[in-house]
Amino acid sequence: MTALRDIQAAFMHDIYTGEQTSAIFLDASASSPARLSIYSNNTALGLADVLANAYPVVKRIVGEEFFKTLARHFLKAHPQPAGNRHMFGGDLATFLKGFVPASALPYLSDIAALEWAYFQSSIADDAENIDFNGLTAAMSADPAFVLALHPSVHVIEQSYNALDIWQEHQKAEPSTIQLTQEERTLVVWRTTDDSVLIRKASPAFASLLDCCQKDISFAEAMTIAGEGVHDMNAFQQEFAEAVILRIFARTKKETYS
Amino acid sequence: MQQHTLERSGIGLRSPHVRELLDSKANIGFLEAHSENYFGGGQPRKLLKQISEMYPVTLHGVGLSLGRADGLDEEHIRQIKSLVEDMNPVFVSDHLTWSGYSHIHVPDLLPIPFINEALDVFAAHVLEFQDKIGRQIIVENPSNYLAFANLDYTETEFLNALVDRTGCGLLLDINNIAVSAHNLGYYALSYIKDIKDDGRVKQFHLAGYQVNELEDGGKIYLDTHGKPVYPEVWELYAYALRRFGDVPTLIEWDADIPALDVLIAEAAKADDVRTRVKGERHDRAA
């Protein structure tokens, strides 16, 4: 390992653990444990803010102090993964399932999953949507055409009626919602006016979206999704509404080259 | 590229002010947007586009981590390149710092040890970044709270060498110079004097700091961007204007963000100093 790598590994370790292993690289006359702690504190405060910005309803439900504690534990287990700080916090729903102090709120993980999808959807890359005319033209030009999802699309599985609770918490004074356990698939995406939409997805529609994500051709995806569907009209209507609400895109997101 | 003289000073673009800035044209030279706040798409990006159509804009990065030892993040560069193409910024800037290593990052600007290896790494990253976005970047001096041992360069030697190797420009943050000088015990004026005066300084930042007492009883100057510019920083700024000429200047204010008028008034103070220093030059010439 080079000197720079040694220094950066030690410094990063110290920031997330509060230890002082990088002190050996420092000039003692202008450095001290308290000065090194400035960077740990900045990170803890900064990431707590990032988390609060992405999870306003989780914060509202658990309260300011509990949220601070949650953030402190979470960032040690799941440090910021990229320089884009909007990427920090995506593991909160999974983390909450094992976070004992929150075990009295079993639906909190579902709320977190929904908020993360909502937040990510609101800032996802823009893309050119495809409408029915575009879809028809693409199918005629290429029978193996793959229908892409808009980059803002997120499909999430829920175990509770967390969507109802989340919607109630958009109000200034939320009422209490009766908690019920129910399996739901939600699809979250950003439509043309930049508002984020949340819809319950039928198993067939969820299957269609899954096929699109796996680059399966549209024709085959419709066949797979349609297997075992009892109410084909309802499925077609769900698909049509999604096209109108611009859930699909013309091409997949390009990667940098 | 659009040409802007930026004779009027600018302010940092902060979300509470966006609507007001769009509703009617404010009396400022330019706006600086933090690049990472506009990654991706959606409403924030559209609003920045509108802003860029009304005002000259600069893009200021806080997360690329040019000083990291393990290579730049391609996706991060892709996002900045996309912003640069959309917003046509006057400057693209980043910091003489690092903030990520081995897939772990922090929302902070971490100090670089000024050793030969760090200069090799930093210069290679600046060249790569400039090549990929297709234009010059300017690099900002950081605020320092501690110092490394066994260094090959001072900070100013490191910055001068970086410019010589890469052709990048410099963004001198006068507040950071004052903060670091207090914390590390050197003279801020000497720092300014040690930066070569050959057109490499492209922009100044001004901001307010805060003095805190540490747990060990020591005093520390923190670059909090939450207060008006201090008198000593105004004096250093005037000195820097005399040395480097009339360089575009920006007021940064990120914490306890005041009303837009307060920021505009702070930028107007910078304009007054610029006018005064220009006047001194004319007097000398006469």
H or E element at residue A186: strand A181-190
> Is B213 part of the contact surface with chain A (CB cutoff 8 Å)?
no
Contacts of A50 in chain B (CB under 8 A): 107
| Closest residue on chain B to A254 (Cα) | B78
Model pLDDT, residue A8: 97
Tokens (6 digits) for B70: 């393990």
pLDDT tops 70 at residue A224 = yes
Interface of B with A in 66-105 (CB under 8 A): 68-70, 73-79, 81, 98-105
Interface test with A, best of B105, B179, B254, B256 (most A CBs within 10 A): B105
Q: Which residues, in sequence order, are bridge partners of residue A200?
A: A186
Contacts of A249 in chain B (CB under 8 A): none
CB contact under 8 A, B76 and A82: yes
The predicted model gives B46-51 an average pLDDT of 98
Domains observed in chain B = 10-285 (3.20.20.150)
Model pLDDT, residue A2: 63
Contacts of B102 in chain A (CB under 8 A): 8-9, 12
Q: Are B188 and B181 in contact (CB under 8 A)?
A: yes
Give A41-99 pLDDT, tens digit per residue.
999 999 999 999 999 999 999 999 999 999 999 999 999 999 999 999 999 999 999 99
> Is A50 part of the contact surface with chain B (CB cutoff 8 Å)?
yes
| Closest residue on chain B to A15 (Cα) | B106
What is the rounded CA–CA span in Å between residue B141 and residue B162? Answer: 12
Give B210-229 pLDDT, tens digit per residue.
999 988 888 999 999 989 99
The predicted model gives B249-261 an average pLDDT of 94
Interface of B with A in 129-158 (CB under 8 A): 145-149
| Closest residue on chain A to B38 (Cα) | A123
CB contact under 8 A, B104 and A81: yes
Contacts of A7 in chain B (CB under 8 A): 113, 148
CB contact under 8 A, B214 and A32: yes
Give A106-154 pLDDT, tens digit per residue.
999 999 999 999 999 999 999 999 999 999 999 999 989 999 999 999 9
pLDDT band of residue A253 (cuts 50, 70, 90) is low
Choice among A186-190, B134-138, B226-230 with the minimum mean pLDDT: B226-230
CB contact under 8 A, B101 and A46: no
Pairing of strands B169-173, B138-140: parallel
> Is A152 part of the contact surface with chain B (CB cutoff 8 Å)?
yes
Model pLDDT, residue A252: 63
CB contact under 8 A, A31 and B110: no
CB contact under 8 A, A39 and B106: yes
Q: Are B210 and B227 in contact (CB under 8 A)?
A: yes
Phi first, then psi: give them for residue A98, nearest 5 degrees.
Answer: -110, 10
Tokens (6 digits) for B32: 């600086």
**A251: closest CA among A210, A215, A201, A197?**
A215
Q: Which residues, in sequence order, are bridge partners of residue A154?
A: A188
Contacts of B145 in chain A (CB under 8 A): 35, 38-39
The CA-based angle A74-A79-A85, given to 5 degrees, is: 105
The predicted model gives B256-284 an average pLDDT of 93
Place of tokens 């611009």: A246
Contacts of A2 in chain B (CB under 8 A): 69, 117
Model pLDDT, residue A6: 95
Q: Give the number of A-B residue pairs with CB atoms closer than 8 Å.
A: 161
pLDDT band of residue B115 (cuts 50, 70, 90) is very high
Q: Are A184 and A206 in contact (CB under 8 A)?
A: no
Nearest to B69 among A2, A25, A28 (CB): A2
The predicted model gives B10-17 an average pLDDT of 96
Model pLDDT, residue A1: 46
Spacing of C-alpha B273 from chain mean position: 19
Domain boundaries, chain A: 1-93, 106-257
Give A18-42 pLDDT, tens digit per residue.
999 999 999 988 888 889 999 999 9
Model pLDDT, residue B4: 62
Phi first, then psi: give them for residue B74, nearest 5 degrees.
Answer: -60, -40
The predicted model gives B1-26 an average pLDDT of 88
pLDDT tops 50 at residue A254 = no
Q: Across chain B, what does the average pLDDT equal?
A: 95
pLDDT band of residue A256 (cuts 50, 70, 90) is very low
Contacts of A16 in chain B (CB under 8 A): 104
